[in-house]
Amino acid sequence: MPGGIDTPALWLALALVLGGAELVVPGVFLIFLAIAAAVTAAIGWAVPGLPLGAELAAFGVWSAVAVLVGRRWYRDYPLESEDALLNDRTARMIGQVVTVEAAIVGGHGRVRVGDGAWPATGADLPVGERGRVVSVEDGVLVVEPFTPAYPALRDFVLGYFHQDWMILNDNADAVIDDFRSAASGSGRAEVVADLERFLRDHPAGLAVAFDRVLRADIGFDNDDDARRTLMGWLARLRGPGEPR
C-alpha cells in the first residue's frame, strides 16, 4: 500500500470501470484489460506492501496475456451473428438510397443518411437528388446516381402512401381510387406494369422487399399478407373489365 493508499481496491475499481465500458463499447478488448486489473488487485491483496512499480508491471504482463488469450479465443470460437454487418455501421450503408444535402460537385458533397449527414463523393448530383451508396472509403460515402428499378410504382407508393395516408383516407382502396381518378391512362398502365414485374421478381421475401426496394412501410404482417394486398391493388388499378 504505497503512501497508505489501498492500491488493490483501486485496481479492482479500474477493473469494474473497464468491464462496464466493454458493455457500452463492445469489441474493443476492454474486458481483457479489466481481467488484468482484477488479477493485479488479487496480487496486491495476496502480497501486502507490493511496490507500485511491481503492480504496474503485473498489470502490463497480465494485460498482454489476457489480450493474447482473448484473440486466440475469438479466433477459435468466433461469435456468430444473424447479421454479419451488425457492428459495422459503414458497411450497412452500402446499397442504401440517400438524398443529396450539399450538391456533389467535383467529387465533393454531403448526403443525408437517416438523421445525419455524411461527406460524399461521386458523380455530380444536385441538392435533393437521390443516390445509392456503393462503397465507403475513409469515412466518405461513394455515391452513384440512383435509378429506381420500379420508377412508376415507387412514385405511386411514395406519392400516395405517404406518412399521412391513413389520416386522409378511409383505407387503401380509397387511396388507389384517388390515384385512378388523377392519373392518366398511360400513367396507370406504367404503375400496373411495375407492380406486375415487382410481384414476379419477388416470389419470396415480398414484405421485406417492398420496404427495402420501395422505401415504404405499409405494415405488412408477412409475405402472404403482402401478396394478398398487392394483388388487390393490382386488380383495383386495372379496373373492371380490364385484362388480368
In tens, the pLDDT along 103-154 reads 999 989 999 887 788 899 999 999 988 888 888 888 889 999 888 788 888 8
- 7-25 pLDDT, tens per residue? 888 888 888 888 887 776 6
Q: How many Cβ atoms are within 10 Å of 214's Cβ, its own excluded?
A: 21
φ and ψ at residue 126, rounded to 5 degrees: -80, 165
Instruction: Report the chain's mean pLDDT, rounded to a whole number.
Output: 80
**Rounded Cα gap, residues 141 and 222, in angstroms:** 33
User: What 8-state DSSP symbol labels residue 123?
Assistant: S
Helix axis angle for 185-201 and 206-214, nearest 10°, is 130
pTM, rounded to two decimals: 0.45
**Are residues 37 and 18 in contact, defined by beta-carbon separation less than 8 angstroms?**
yes
89-145 CATH pick, 2.60.40.60, 2.40.50.140, 1.20.58.1910, 3.40.50.300: 2.40.50.140
Beta bridge partners of residue 97, listed in sequence order: 132
**Res 81: pLDDT:** 47
As given in the structure block, the three cell numbers for residue 8 are 488493490
Mean pLDDT in residue range 215-219: 56
**Rounded Cα gap, residues 102 and 90, in angstroms:** 20
Q: How many Cβ atoms are within 10 Å of 210's Cβ, its own excluded?
A: 22
Q: Is the pLDDT of residue 155 over 60?
A: yes
Q: How many Cβ atoms are within 10 Å of 202's Cβ, its own excluded?
A: 18
Question: How does residue 215 score in pLDDT terms, banded at 50, 70 and 90?
Answer: low
Q: How far is CA 80 from CA 68, 77, 83, in A?
A: 21, 9, 9
Is residue 100 helix, strand or coil? strand
As given in the structure block, the three cell numbers for residue 33 are 484489460
Q: Is the pLDDT of residue 89 over 70?
A: no
**Rounded Cα gap, residues 42 and 128, in angstroms:** 60
